[in-house]
Structure 1
Amino acid sequence: MAEVATSATSEQLLVVIDPVARRSDGESVRIAKDVLGAGAAVKLCLPEGPEEFARALRRRGSRRPVVVGDDRALIRAVSLLHRHRELAGCALSVVPVGGALSLARSLGVPTGTVQAARAVLDGVERRMDLLVDDSDGVVLGALRIPPVTATAQQPDSETTSPGRPWLRTCQSLVRTLVPAGRPSRPASAPEPGPSRLRVEVDGETLVDLNQPVEAVSVSPGAAGVASVEVRPVSVGAEASPLLAQGRTVTVSGAHFRYRADALVSGPVRTRTWVVREGAWGLTVPAAG
């Protein structure tokens, strides 16, 4: 892992540049380094794999961590800090670089490199809720059962094109960086048919196994609760979705897979997610 220190103002930043970002968009990485280095004292870390990525975050000291990379790099950083129980006291920043940036955008981070780097320097910390499951996995944005199809999530697809061996290398590296204990598969797998699932919100059954469902989605709602939507299978007229809010959501039934942020996990027979209010902080542009 290469580390380079540059001098600027008194603020200390640890800038961890994801290897996939370096290989896929070196120009954006260079711009991010220039803008950050002009406004703060920067220590650059260039990890070559997941172990070095984790080691860089663990050894950050008093420096504020900045991740330069795509949604998967952001998820990886939050997962590592959560696993080491350091997330609550660490304000994280990200400069989105790569093909899959929808999560960062939904969290309020600019996807333009210059704007995102300036937000790191001049922005404010926003405390956000986190969904934590019973295997200690985290969800920053939303989860869906069954996973969405490749057509709807083309930027995250892992298909390769002839004559582009570098892309296969990047995709192989991405797969090695998926957090341990979170089995996943490419999102390009076909979406299955209706499922029979029991969905419980704060111990109350929203839908039971006798009612086939087309989709279940869980996302942050009001402070400290999750919004749950279940779409039953329609017969004739379109069925109205079932809606609920709560702090604990349990899904059980036949083996199912789910997409949490940018990762597809499973199959599992049951999974419980609990909302952790204000569990993590992300730097976003200041209002106005």
Structure 2
Amino acid sequence: MSAADQLLVVIDPVARRIDGESVRIAKDVLCAGAQAKICWPEGVEEFSRALARRGGRRPVVVGDDRTLLRTVTLLQREGGLAPSALSMVPVGTAPSLELARSLGVPLGAVAAARAVLEGSPRRLDLLVDDSGGVVLGDLCIPAPARPLAPTVWGTCRSLVRTLVGAPSPVAAALAHRLRVEADGVLLSDLDRPVAGVSLAMAGGAAQVVVEGGSGVVVRARASVVTVSAGGSGGGSGGVCGAGFRYRVGSVVAGPVWTRTWTTGSWCLTLPSPTPRA
């Protein structure tokens, strides 16, 4: 058996606490079908060390979406994404496995373990940001939440607007002032309100959608996307001094003043396609 046919199975401690039975089943199936070294790290540092010492073994992680993201981030930082495919056995609550489900990983312990042994590597897209973070799903920068004012003050302002017929500032309050560049091409600048920005990977490139505060939508396809927030000065209708936040699945990151995402790829072992009759 070659080194490439050997497995390094790293089991996240949270998975053991949440569903020890599924962990046991996955371990038994993997050990029955391959030469597998099982690691039981107790924390993030031990998890990282186990992965770094894998040698020529194929890495298999047992855990939820955060476990998968942590693993891909570690492999990307050490340049270990390209040589071999990563495999996953999802163990966790349903909300914590949304990414695994969307990628096509079987959610049952037996089916997922068999996919590790019998599946084939699939090349997938990802985004890497300038801080070393990795994005495996779609990313969006939603409109900022409107700051909450005291109830009485908010009621008074509404009454005054009604009496004098003044335009409501809601649209301006719920818009960013963002500079968005796609491969060096300016899609939106700080003088224009932005209701939201989204990045979706497809065919090795990021599909960028910028929704303007006036309802205008700008689309582009790019390999490098940079988003920057406006300054802290008031009166422009933007969010002052807060930067912007972005969301990937259920995880919210930020606030940050600027972020650059660059497209990349990784390999994940998935069930082999069923031959057509």
**What code does the residue aligned with 1:200 have?**
E
Q: Which residue of 2 aligns with 1:93?
A: 87
Matches within 5 A, 1:112-131: 112-131=108-127
**What code does the residue aligned with 1:219 have?**
A
Q: Could you list the per-position Cα deviations for residues 203-241 of structure 1 after superposition, in whole angstroms to 9, with x for gaps in the alignment?
A: 11112223322221112112x21111222235xxxx353
Range with greater deviation from structure 2 (250-259 or 140-149): 140-149
Matches within 5 A, 1:181-192: none
Within the candidate set 43, 46, 54, 2:48 is matched to 54
Q: Which residue of 2 aligns with 1:174?
A: none
* 2: CA distance, partners of 1:31 / 1:241: 49
Query: In 2, are the aligned partners of 1:147 and 1:259 still within 8 Å (CA)?
Result: no
Within the candidate set 136, 139, 153, 1:140 is matched to 136
Q: Could you list the per-position Cα deviations for residues 47-93 of structure 1 after superposition, in whole angstroms to 9, with x for gaps in the alignment?
A: 11111000110111111110000000000001111111111113100
Seen in structure 2, the aligned counterparts of structure 1 residues 246 and 52 have a Cα distance that, compared at 3 Å, is: same
Q: Does 1:253 align with 2:222?
A: no
Q: Which residue of 2 aligns with 1:281?
A: 267
Q: Could you list the per-position Cα deviations for residues 22-67 of structure 1 after superposition, in whole angstroms to 9, with x for gaps in the alignment?
A: 1111121112112212211111111111110001101111111100
Q: Which residue of 1 aligns with 2:149?
A: none
* 2: CA distance, partners of 1:28 / 1:257: 35
* 1: CA distance, partners of 2:138 / 2:201: 7
**TM-score (norm. length: structure 2):** 0.78
Q: Does 1:31 align with 2:33?
A: no
Q: Which residue of 2 aligns with 1:243?
A: 219
Within the candidate set 53, 63, 66, 2:57 is matched to 63
Query: In 1, are the aligned partners of 2:143 and 2:174 still within 8 Å (CA)?
Result: no
Q: Could you list the per-position Cα deviations for residues 98-123 of structure 1 after superposition, in whole angstroms to 9, with x for gaps in the alignment?
A: 12111111212112222111110100
User: Per-residue deviation at 1:246?
Assistant: 0.8
* 2: CA distance, partners of 1:147 / 1:29: 40
CA RMSD of aligned residues (A): 2.0
Give 3-state SS (helix, strand or coil) of 1:81's partner.
helix
Unpaired runs of at least 5, structure 1: 1-9, 150-191
Query: In 2, are the aligned partners of 1:147 and 1:258 still within 8 Å (CA)?
Result: no
Give 3-state SS (helix, strand or coil) of 1:91's partner.
coil
User: Per-residue deviation at 1:262?
Assistant: 5.2
**What code does the residue aligned with 2:254 have?**
G
Seen in structure 2, the aligned counterparts of structure 1 residues 287 and 139 have a Cα distance that, compared at 3 Å, is: same
Q: Which residue of 2 aligns with 1:185?
A: none
Range with greater deviation from structure 2 (71-80 or 106-115): 106-115
Query: In 2, are the aligned partners of 1:21 and 1:68 still within 8 Å (CA)?
Result: yes
User: Per-residue deviation at 1:148?
Assistant: 10
* 2: CA distance, partners of 1:41 / 1:147: 50
Q: Could you list the per-position Cα deviations for residues 126-173 of structure 1 after superposition, in whole angstroms to 9, with x for gaps in the alignment?
A: 112221111122111221113999xxxxxxxxxxxxxxxxxxxxxxxx
Query: In 1, are the aligned partners of 2:8 and 2:37 still within 8 Å (CA)?
Result: yes
Q: Which residue of 1 aligns with 2:185?
A: 204
Q: Which residue of 2 aligns with 1:233?
A: 213
Q: Which residue of 2 aligns with 1:105?
A: 101
Deviation above 6 Å: which 4+ runs of structure 1? none
Q: Does 1:194 align with 2:175?
A: yes
* 1: CA distance, partners of 2:174 / 2:90: 34
